[in-house]
Amino acid sequence: MRSLISIVVPVYNEKDSLVLLVDQISKVMAARAKESFEIIFIDDGSTDQSWDVIQNLAAQHAKYVRAIRFRKNFGKSQALSVGFQLAQGDPIISMDADLQDDPQEIPLFLDKINDGADLVSGWKVNRQDPLSKTLPSKVFNAVVQLMSGVKLHDFNCGFKAYRKEVLRHIKIYGELHRFIPVLAHGYGFKIAEVGVRHNPRQFGYSKYGLERYARGFLDLLTVIITTRFIKRPSHLFGGFGIIAGLIGFSILFYLSVHWLMGTHIGARPLFFLGIMLSIMSIQMISLGLIAELFLYYAKSNENEDLIQQKINIVLN
């Protein structure tokens, strides 16, 4: 039996590229004898004629074009999340709708998956965007790589392939789609990278500006906390708390000695720093404990997310 490959495409105002995109994908996939494919369009609240174009495509190619339309623009992460959930194939590929990702390269991704990777991320080696986009992107990628320990060159590439298994365990919302490899790495999945060509945008306009990097750094904190500290929030908060506490109490101890010797300490800036650090310390440690309590009661069925294989295990 031929296996099924799902190609998930988020669409926000891309009316001019969709026909070409379907044409190119179907040519590439028709050449592959062992696999059939489906294209799942998620129209993320487009205000141009994208949905009309998608409807036509679905009528013409009912065998492999499926589509969902959002009521309004909910963002790329939501679009991908719904697309992944509806995908029936395995592996699943995500790619942008604007033809900046080249369908010709789908086989490169599939090869890596067949070689044993769980997630393959594209790397736009010669990114065809203005310097105002490529430079911040370099900084962003370097920071994410450093903080997450995931050795990828390009966290902003929408062109990726995933074994279905990976996506079963990962919840994305907000703008977390950039961090799917970091989340997957956190669960112990094997991550690979392929260099891809990147075409300049032919139609329409980019939906993201510089603000994505500011948000991206906040999202990175979320991801680091949820992957590294989700099981032990008190270690994160308590860690800061203990450091602040040690410094604060040392300062106050030092000032107390002075005070006992008769020096006036009430107006010294150091006195206020000592008090502030001591209070912060207690707040941080309590915050950590509250997070632990919360976790204790919210204990989910997360164990399932950790398991790769089972032998002689009956589900209960």
Which residues in this chain contact ligand UDP in the complex, by CB under 6 A?
10-12, 14, 44, 73, 75-76, 79, 96-98, 100, 158, 206-208
- Least Å distance, CB 46 to ligand UDP, is 8
Nearer to Mg ion, 95 or 184 (CB): 95
Nearer to ligand UDP, 12 or 189 (CB): 12
DSSP code per residue over 92-150: EEE--SSSSS-GGGHHHHHHHHHTT-SEEEEEETT--S-HHHHHHHHHHHHHHHHHH--
Nearby residues of 194 by Cβ (< 8 Å), 6 or more positions away: 105, 108, 109, 112, 120, 121, 122, 123
Picked from ligand UDP, Mg ion, none, the partner binding residue 167 (CB below 5 to 8 A depending on kind) is none
Picked from Mg ion, ligand UDP, none, the partner binding residue 44 (CB below 5 to 8 A depending on kind) is ligand UDP
Alpha carbons 130 and 228: distance in angstroms, whole number: 35
Nearer to ligand UDP, 11 or 161 (CB): 11
Helices then strands, each counted (H, E), the chain:
10, 7
- Least Å distance, CB 195 to ligand UDP, is 17
Nearer to Mg ion, 208 or 253 (CB): 208
Picked from ligand UDP, Mg ion, none, the partner binding residue 181 (CB below 5 to 8 A depending on kind) is none
- Least Å distance, CB 50 to ligand UDP, is 8
- Least Å distance, CB 155 to Mg ion, is 15
User: E strand or H helix at 304, and its extent?
Assistant: none
What's the Cα-to-Cα distance from 4 to each of 29, 62, 295, rounded to whole Å?
A: 11, 15, 39
Nearer to ligand UDP, 14 or 118 (CB): 14
Judge whether 245 and 283 are in contact, CB under 8 Å: no
Q: Which residue has the tokens 């490899």?
A: 181
- Least Å distance, CB 122 to Mg ion, is 12
